[in-house]
């Protein structure tokens, strides 16, 4: 039996690297969007650590009414103080967003009792407590866009070779 890997991919290079600190009170995703816009970054990857006043995220749950039998939960909010132990994500284009970008971050957070939570962070719902450190790597030659995939009935980040 031959294993078959089905994937969509594009090949490129790393462009600029931006290291930043989002200040207390700023939102995790709004802050990253602002950094990307000010630096002309439309596609890339990111890594974050820091602290939050609260975190709002979603997790995958069974949903029998969907084609794949899975969807996302209602928003879950955990109040702080919280620590983002690790956060990884992508920057992509999204024609439906107000600024043309979609910041997609999944992370693991810990509360003041050492309990861990994780999921997909929601925009506008994750205020920074003390500091949030982010490193962004821009993709060159690759365009990421958020497109609807009818096979799984949801929007996903799709890589494509960027035309020069």
Element (H, E) at 44: strand 44-58
User: Looking at residues 99-122, what average pLDDT do you find?
Assistant: 96
Tokens of 140: 């060159």
Question: For residue 89, which of 129, 128, 57 has the smallest C-alpha distance?
Answer: 57
On whether the CB atoms of residues 71 and 59 are closer than 8 A, the answer is no
28 vs 66 pLDDT, higher one: 28
59 secondary structure, DSSP code: -
Tens-place pLDDT, residues 30-59: 999 999 999 999 999 999 999 999 999 999
Instruction: Report the percentage of the chain scoring pLDDT > 70.
Output: 98
Q: How far apart are CA 16 and CA 19, in angstroms?
A: 10
Question: Taking the alpha carbons of 31, 136, 152, 147 in that order, is the dihedral positive or negative?
Answer: positive
- Kindly tell me if the per-residue pLDDT of 24 is higher than 60: yes
At 94 the pLDDT is 87
| pLDDT class of 131 with cuts at 50, 70, 90 | very high
Q: Give every CB contact of residue 115 below 8 A, 6+ residues apart in sequence.
A: none
- Kindly tell me if the per-residue pLDDT of 1 is higher than 60: no
Give all domains of the chain, ordered by start, each with its CATH number: 15-161 (3.30.1330.80)
Tokens of 94: 């999204």
Q: How far apart are CA 123 and CA 46, in angstroms?
A: 15
At 164 the pLDDT is 62
**For residue 8, cis peptide bond before it (omega within 30 degrees of 0):** no
| pLDDT class of 10 with cuts at 50, 70, 90 | very high
Tokens of 112: 């003041």
At 43 the pLDDT is 96
| Neighbouring C-beta atoms of residue 42, cutoff 10 Å | 17
């Amino acid at each position: 039996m031959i294993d078959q890997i089905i994937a969509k991919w594009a090949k490129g290079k790393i462009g600029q690297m931006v290291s930043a600190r989002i200040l207390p009170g700023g939102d995790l995703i709004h802050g990253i969007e602002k950094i990307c816009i000010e630096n002309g970054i439309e596609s890339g990857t990111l890594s974050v650590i820091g602290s939050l006043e609260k975190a709002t995220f979603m997790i995958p749950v069974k949903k029998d009414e969907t084609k794949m039998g899975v969807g996302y939960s209602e928003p879950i909010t955990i109040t702080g103080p919280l620590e983002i132990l690790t956060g990884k994500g992508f920057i992509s284009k999204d024609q439906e967003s107000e600024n043309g970008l979609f910041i997609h971050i999944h992370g693991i957070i810990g509360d003041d009792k050492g309990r861990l939570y994780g999921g997909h962070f929601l925009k506008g719902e994750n205020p920074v407590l003390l500091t949030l450190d982010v490193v962004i790597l821009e993709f060159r030659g690759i365009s990421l866009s958020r497109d609807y995939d009818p096979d799984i009935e949801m929007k996903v980040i799709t890589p494509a070779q960027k035309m020069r």
